Structure 1
Amino acid sequence: MAEVKEALNVVGDIMGTYLPLIQSAIIVINKIIEICEAAEYNQNICNSLLDRVKLTSTAIDSLQRRKQRNESKLRNEVYYQAFHKFIYVLKEIETYTADISKIHGFRKYAKALTIKEKFVKLSKDYDKSMNDLHFTIAVANEEQRRIDDEALTEDLAEFDKYLKTIDRKVDDLHDEIKYIKNHINEKSLHGVNKIDPKNLELPSQGTADDERRGKNSNVVVKRIFKAQEVACKSFSTTEEGPKEGHLEILMKLSECKHILRFYGISKIDNNGVMVFEWAQRKTLKELYEKKDIQWHCKVRIALNICRGLVFLQQAEILHHDLKCENILMTQTLEPKIYNFELARYYSGNTTSIGSEMNDTMRWMAPEKLSNYNSRYTTWCEIFSFSMLLWELAFEKIPYRNLKLEKIKALVTKGGREIIKFGKSTPEEVQEAYKKIISGSWKQIPHERISFLKILSMLEELHNSIIHMFDANLPDLLDNEALDLDGSNEVNGDLDIPDDDICDVSDVNPIIISLDEGISAFRIGEHEKAWKCFEYHAKNDNVTAKYWKGRYLNEGLLADKKDPEEGKKLLKEAADRGNPDAQLRYAFTLLKILHEGNNREIFMEYITKAANEGENTAAQFHLGEIYYKGKCKIPKNEEEGIKWLRKAALQNNSKAIGLLNTSGIDIY
């Protein structure tokens, strides 16, 4: 654009023109650093990208400090374009690292090869961008390439295992829990079972001690519900009681067999109760205090607890209070994670124990002990699990002979409990179990092994000693025997809602950022928005090509209308993975679905947007198409409801409305 070249030549302080770009770059760089330093998975790949990004900060600082020496290149239009491309790449790196560093982001990648292909592309784009900016300090060399190869080799081998471990069905559960959380104070939620008190029958036999546990507000009584033993825990009717949203989440978590099942709420003697499955053997702590648990059983218990924790991690929930006392045991020695009173979502407020020391410190991570009000992270949860593993192994609470002040001083300085097995511990168990604990309680949080790694190690250990198991042998405990949805016409109601746009700053450089361009579109400043999208599209930005394609295709500026050129741009952006473009391109085919294979192409792109791009508008339209049999697509109500629910759980109002009017539960 001629105006850009002219502006670069007449502006006074050239760094004033670049300042908004530099600020944008620094913001993204800091986000990448934060993501990578907290990475739970694919740490080597994240660190390889982080090494590059950190060097870039030095190059930007040098550019600013030597502005007089750099003035000629700063006034070069090509250099200005290159700086924008640099920001595009940084934002792609931010998205990529955010995805692969967290377990829930894995669902975007069907196989490890996809991770590698994306990494290679990002690395090449980044290195080219740095070279175009003359940031030679950050250009990849042979050593960096060696580091990259090692990072990919090590992480991708693990990632293949991760993908096999991940339960894709939990993605739906994650969305359901997120929806409940976002509507936690609304009375419209109705997913909690209301159990008729008449269906809670008294047990036909059993001791008084077995039928009633706990004291005062924590009393639990046994009842029979649908021929199953259940535990009824009272809650005060004079207080607000547990929020229905929280109870709904408990019901969702019950889909995991390693978490204590919550049946619903009811009343006993006019007192409100929460109904859970009955754990015959009480807590794991109470069990090991009474009975010596055999080692092959301990490994199985640890493995199943870890499976439950991985399930919680996929749902983005942290328990915050892991210890054997919060694990209940069934008659057949199946562990059930319970007591979610301190549990939080990843984005929720952290659990704080205040200034008063309490017994939870025995299982607490050193970083949390150093600052009680610091954020509780997955690394804290992993540390607590390591202490639970130790407790289970040696059948006693950690540091039982030390006062709390001594424990805090010891752990924050790197001290830990002693791992010393007795002679009766099988040799195949000792080193493997010790390696898991030692890798999980490391002093530096991000050096601790991940939950999925722990799971893999426990499964390997379990498989190596499985020959010790025999369902017919009553030797799991010493000295105790176990009883063991429309029209086929294409019509105008397939409208597409606009995307949610965040506010942007008031900085007014020569070319405004994409966020500012989108904001200008939202308030009807189409000339301003067009100039922004046109520039960034010429600079090969995918998002800008999508927006320029929209303007040309829809004629948002009358003198710029060119449907065919717009359609080409939408397709290009769609083929490069932009989900909004995938949906818009699909809709350019609506009036010509009967021609050639356009119907198949239409469904291909709208499905890509809904699935890979997780575009909620695409999910709604795809669901409506299947549910009502629109666009002459064979009617498939089950498939339609699946996509409508996905959209509804992301707060798509049209999907929620269609499900409600059709009498279909959002879950």
Structure 2
Amino acid sequence: MSRKKKTSEVDGVDGRNIKNDAKPFSMECQKSIAKHAYNAFSAISAFIPWFDAVTRVIDEILSIQEDTEYNSETCLILIERVDNVSPAVRSLRRQKETNEKKFQNRAFNRTFVRFHKVLIDIREFIKDVSQLNGLRKFTYAGEIKKKCNRLLQSFESVCQDLQFNIIITIEAREREQRILDEDVIKTQKKLEKMIQMQGGKIDLIYEQVYQMIKKANKGEYIISDVPFIKVCDIAEPGRRNSPGNRGKVCKKVYKTIPVAFKRVKIPNDMESTRRFSKAQLAILNQIQASPRIIKFYGLTRADGEDIMVMEWAEHGNLKELYENDRSMGWQTKLKIVHDICDGLVFLQACTIYHHDIRCENILVVEDGGYKAKIANFHLSRKTDQDTNPINNLNDVVRWLAPEKLNPDKEVKYSFACEVFSFGMLIWELSFQKVPYENMSFNDICIHVRKNKREELNFGLNSMSFITKTFSKIIKAAWNGVPTLRPKISDILLDLQDVLEKNSPKLYPTQASGDNQSQLELPQSFGSGNSDKTDDYEDDPNLENISIPLLEEGKRAHKLKDFSTAFNVFKIHAELDDPVAKYWKGVYLLEGHAGEKNIPEAIKLFKEAADKNNSDAQLRYAFIKLQAKCFEEFVEYLIKSADNNNATAMFNLGDIYYHGKYNIKQDKKKGKKYLELAALKDQPKALKMLGEINAVHDAD
């Protein structure tokens, strides 16, 4: 009798036994399957932080567009490139199980990390070239185009390696280059105008004010104190300076200069609140560097009260002026609007919003004619601070942007809101009356939200070149879509052109031999997955595939786990990361992980410095100082200071203040760098400033 072949039996759905003739997997086969599943799971898990990091940077890049003030078209080219590829990144993450072979491949891992680094470079470039303060890092406007093209090339290369499908036609590339060329010309023109109007430089004041606001918002102490004026130095106005009290503001005389006394309440009950109030006054003291901001002389005390001593505005505010001077000419209005716009450009560069732009908050001084100055900063705050509710909307609703009038949706205040208000101010001054004069609060809100505006009819004056310019600016500023409103710097250029045509000798012409705007302290200055078949081979040694985040190396360094930190820095240095190159250089210079190689460390510092890493620039500068190469020492020190390195700022301040290393002594500039370093709590800068101020007080 023949032996029956063994079969396994299982219960079917209907309860009947079903025979299964399949052979069970061998133990080795089961182990292999389990190992493969574990490897796939481990590879995907190790990749999740990189997905998070890349997604975060992409979101940051896409959110920048609204805030670009300069080189908008250049920035938009990069933003659109990143936006085109973001669906491919999301798809890759969604289909992570399908793409497990990629995650187990060493080359793919390294390429994805490189992708993250290119995105960071794009983000930082956009931040720099889109704001006036960041433009200090570029020697001339044409360099911006060169760097943009390098970033585009790097981005497309890494996307191709990742098999992200980007299709750019020859026509599209040619169009992009034309746009870049136009942006270069536009930016250069803007910079030349700014440099003319600001005395031949783009000042460090923007960075200084930014750092002061940053500390104020954190409730930290600001060393730049508010000037105190002795009450005995204040006199009553004589007959020539007849009294001119206006409400809560009264006229006095300070050192023969007519000034305004304005009472201010600085709370004594809470140290943090008092510190913030004093910080606001210190910031007000700094921004008077612009001639378009009302001058703040300092603080005094009289009759037990704190009093701000301000510049006296002979003609009161702009609303009072246009109500009293009904014959005000268009040339005068143009000059006033230009002055206000210039002040707004300055505030925007300092990352400050005024929040209440209208004629009543513009003071007019006498200086051979009407001179407009922005005042009343009681609603002002840093641009990235959360929007606070405005207490009395009835006062400001006539000038508010439509996006701020929606009760159902809280919209963050942006500079586009300032531009809208500025458009309303131009209308107000043009017609010499407040907008929507006979309309109620609710009617105004409904009217503006329906994309309706004030009537714009200049009548007999409509053919005037000035009114045509005003009409064009007002219409553009009133756009219901914030991103479609003009940039404040572009408006200033338009006003400047009209002003120069009417007053050709307003600004001296500066010679420009090579037609390059030299700034103060210049530096050397498609979507979806590809249909291509994957040819990635999985690597069983996952420890050699998984790439840790650079932050893990920094954390290990803080914990003094030097071996782990050095390994992380080496991996990222091989991927051409300037931060990792700097840290690898530090380890090779100081031998933290038992390996020392000074020539290689210097080479890494130079490479990282030339990729704009401020710490590497500082290290390399001092290497050049040791070699007595003073010119290169100062060159890289300036680069590091321009990249906001506090130690570099201190050293540069010391050099300028004392006139070292063949640099001409300039105490004013030196002190400014020292103050910047002190705002970043650089201990030597704090000490040196204290000594300088002590000598000054003694004098």
> What does 1:56-135 align with in structure 2 at a 5 Å threshold?
56-67=85-96, 69-135=98-164
The Cα of 1:287 is off from its aligned counterpart by 1.5
Task: Supply the distance in 2 between the matched residues of 1:190 and 1:589 (Cα, whole angstroms).
Answer: 33
Q: Judging changes above 3 Å, is the alpha-carbon distance between structure 1 residues 148 and 201 closer, same or farther for their aligned structure 2 residues? A: same
2:602 aligns to what? 567
The Cα of 1:18 is off from its aligned counterpart by 2.1
2:513 aligns to what? none
Task: Supply the distance in 1 between the matched residues of 2:72 and 2:560 (Cα, whole angstroms).
Answer: 43
TM-score for both structures, normalised by structure 1:
0.84
Unaligned runs of 5+ in 1: 1-6, 470-507
Contact 2:352–2:381 (8 Å) recurs in 1: yes
Q: Judging changes above 3 Å, is the alpha-carbon distance between structure 1 residues 605 and 179 closer, same or farther for their aligned structure 2 residues? A: closer
> What does 1:7-46 align with in structure 2 at a 5 Å threshold?
11-13=39-41, 14-46=43-75
Task: Supply the distance in 1 between the matched residues of 2:657 and 2:494 (Cα, whole angstroms).
Answer: 44
The Cα of 1:183 is off from its aligned counterpart by 4.9
Contact 2:222–2:679 (8 Å) recurs in 1: no
Q: Secondary structure at the match of 1:222?
A: strand
The match for 1:383 among 410, 413, 420 is: 420
1:368 aligns to what? 404
1:493 aligns to what? none
1:525 aligns to what? 561
Task: Supply the distance in 1 between the matched residues of 2:36 and 2:160 (Cα, whole angstroms).
Answer: 21
Task: Supply the distance in 1 between the matched residues of 2:293 and 2:653 (Cα, whole angstroms).
Answer: 32
Q: Secondary structure at the match of 2:252?
A: strand
Q: Secondary structure at the match of 2:258?
A: strand
1:543-586 CA-partner distances (Å, limit 9, x unpaired): 2222212211211111x222222222222222333222222233
Q: Judging changes above 3 Å, is the alpha-carbon distance between structure 1 residues 602 and 213 closer, same or farther for their aligned structure 2 residues? A: closer
Say if 2:552 is the partner of 1:516: yes
Task: Supply the distance in 2 between the matched residues of 1:641 and 1:228 (Cα, whole angstroms).
Answer: 27
Q: Secondary structure at the match of 1:334?
A: strand
The match for 2:361 among 305, 315, 326 is: 326
The Cα of 1:663 is off from its aligned counterpart by 4.3
Contact 1:36–1:97 (8 Å) recurs in 2: no
Task: Supply the distance in 2 between the matched residues of 1:235 and 1:626 (Cα, whole angstroms).
Answer: 37
2:474 aligns to what? 437
1:3 aligns to what? none
> What does 1:535-546 align with in structure 2 at a 5 Å threshold?
535-546=571-582
Say if 2:239 is the partner of 1:211: no
Task: Supply the distance in 2 between the matched residues of 1:537 and 1:9 (Cα, whole angstroms).
Answer: 32
1:160 aligns to what? 188
Amino acid at match of 1:250: L
Amino acid at match of 2:184: L
Contact 2:133–2:207 (8 Å) recurs in 1: no
The match for 2:448 among 411, 422, 426 is: 411
Amino acid at match of 1:255: A
Q: Secondary structure at the match of 2:297?
A: strand
1:338 aligns to what? 375
Task: Supply the distance in 1 between the matched residues of 2:444 and 2:89 (Cα, whole angstroms).
Answer: 45
Say if 2:651 is the partner of 1:621: yes
1:355-379 CA-partner distances (Å, limit 9, x unpaired): x741311000011112585322111
2:689 aligns to what? 659
Contact 1:549–1:565 (8 Å) recurs in 2: yes
Unaligned runs of 5+ in 2: 1-34, 507-543
- Number of aligned residues: 609
Task: Supply the distance in 1 between the matched residues of 2:695 and 2:57 (Cα, whole angstroms).
Answer: 40
The Cα of 1:511 is off from its aligned counterpart by 1.9
Q: Judging changes above 3 Å, is the alpha-carbon distance between structure 1 residues 665 and 642 closer, same or farther for their aligned structure 2 residues? A: farther
Greater shift in the superposed pair: 428-437 or 57-66: 57-66
The Cα of 1:239 is off from its aligned counterpart by 6.9
The Cα of 1:238 is off from its aligned counterpart by 8.6
Amino acid at match of 2:362: I
Q: Judging changes above 3 Å, is the alpha-carbon distance between structure 1 residues 100 and 291 closer, same or farther for their aligned structure 2 residues? A: same
> What does 1:197-208 align with in structure 2 at a 5 Å threshold?
197-205=231-239
Task: Supply the distance in 2 between the matched residues of 1:264 and 1:172 (Cα, whole angstroms).
Answer: 22
> What does 1:220-231 align with in structure 2 at a 5 Å threshold?
220-231=249-260
1:257-282 CA-partner distances (Å, limit 9, x unpaired): 22221222234455442222221221
> What does 1:132-281 align with in structure 2 at a 5 Å threshold?
132-136=161-165, 138-166=166-194, 167=198, 171-184=203-216, 189=223, 191-205=225-239, 211-214=244-247, 219-235=248-264, 243-281=277-315
Contact 1:296–1:466 (8 Å) recurs in 2: no
Amino acid at match of 1:330: V
Contact 1:549–1:566 (8 Å) recurs in 2: yes
The Cα of 1:201 is off from its aligned counterpart by 2.0
1:610 aligns to what? 641
Task: Supply the distance in 2 between the matched residues of 1:225 and 1:581 (Cα, whole angstroms).
Answer: 49
The match for 1:300 among 322, 327, 335 is: 335
The Cα of 1:206 is off from its aligned counterpart by 7.4
Amino acid at match of 1:452: S
Task: Supply the distance in 1 between the matched residues of 2:358 and 2:578 (Cα, whole angstroms).
Answer: 49
The Cα of 1:122 is off from its aligned counterpart by 0.3
1:321-369 CA-partner distances (Å, limit 9, x unpaired): 1111111222431112111111111122324126x74131100001111
Q: Secondary structure at the match of 1:313?
A: helix
Q: Judging changes above 3 Å, is the alpha-carbon distance between structure 1 residues 182 and 131 closer, same or farther for their aligned structure 2 residues? A: closer
Q: Judging changes above 3 Å, is the alpha-carbon distance between structure 1 residues 599 and 277 closer, same or farther for their aligned structure 2 residues? A: closer
RCO (CA 8 Å, sep 6+): is it higher in 1 or 2? Answer: 2
2:494 aligns to what? 457
Q: Judging changes above 3 Å, is the alpha-carbon distance between structure 1 residues 467 and 187 closer, same or farther for their aligned structure 2 residues? A: closer
Amino acid at match of 2:192: K
TM-score for both structures, normalised by structure 2:
0.80
Amino acid at match of 1:454: I
1:5-41 CA-partner distances (Å, limit 9, x unpaired): xx99972324323222111111110111111243233
Contact 1:8–1:77 (8 Å) recurs in 2: no
Task: Supply the distance in 1 between the matched residues of 2:584 and 2:502 (Cα, whole angstroms).
Answer: 62
1:403-461 CA-partner distances (Å, limit 9, x unpaired): 11111111122111111003146522232210111111211111111111111111112
The Cα of 1:637 is off from its aligned counterpart by 7.0
Q: Secondary structure at the match of 2:314?
A: coil
Q: Secondary structure at the match of 2:599?
A: helix
Amino acid at match of 1:280: E
Amino acid at match of 1:58: P
Say if 2:611 is the partner of 1:580: no
Amino acid at match of 2:182: E
Contact 2:299–2:307 (8 Å) recurs in 1: yes
Runs of 4+ with deviation above 6 angstroms: 7-10, 237-242, 632-635, 664-667
Amino acid at match of 1:177: V
Q: Secondary structure at the match of 1:158?
A: helix
Contact 2:291–2:373 (8 Å) recurs in 1: yes
Q: Judging changes above 3 Å, is the alpha-carbon distance between structure 1 residues 91 and 665 closer, same or farther for their aligned structure 2 residues? A: farther
Q: Judging changes above 3 Å, is the alpha-carbon distance between structure 1 residues 424 and 565 closer, same or farther for their aligned structure 2 residues? A: closer
Q: Secondary structure at the match of 2:315?
A: coil
Amino acid at match of 1:38: D
Task: Supply the distance in 2 between the matched residues of 1:390 and 1:230 (Cα, whole angstroms).
Answer: 30
The match for 1:287 among 313, 321, 343 is: 321
Q: Judging changes above 3 Å, is the alpha-carbon distance between structure 1 residues 248 and 575 closer, same or farther for their aligned structure 2 residues? A: closer
Contact 1:351–1:373 (8 Å) recurs in 2: no
Task: Supply the distance in 2 between the matched residues of 1:25 and 1:271 (Cα, whole angstroms).
Answer: 54
Greater shift in the superposed pair: 59-68 or 319-328: 59-68
Q: Secondary structure at the match of 2:204?
A: helix
Amino acid at match of 2:314: Q
Contact 1:251–1:264 (8 Å) recurs in 2: yes
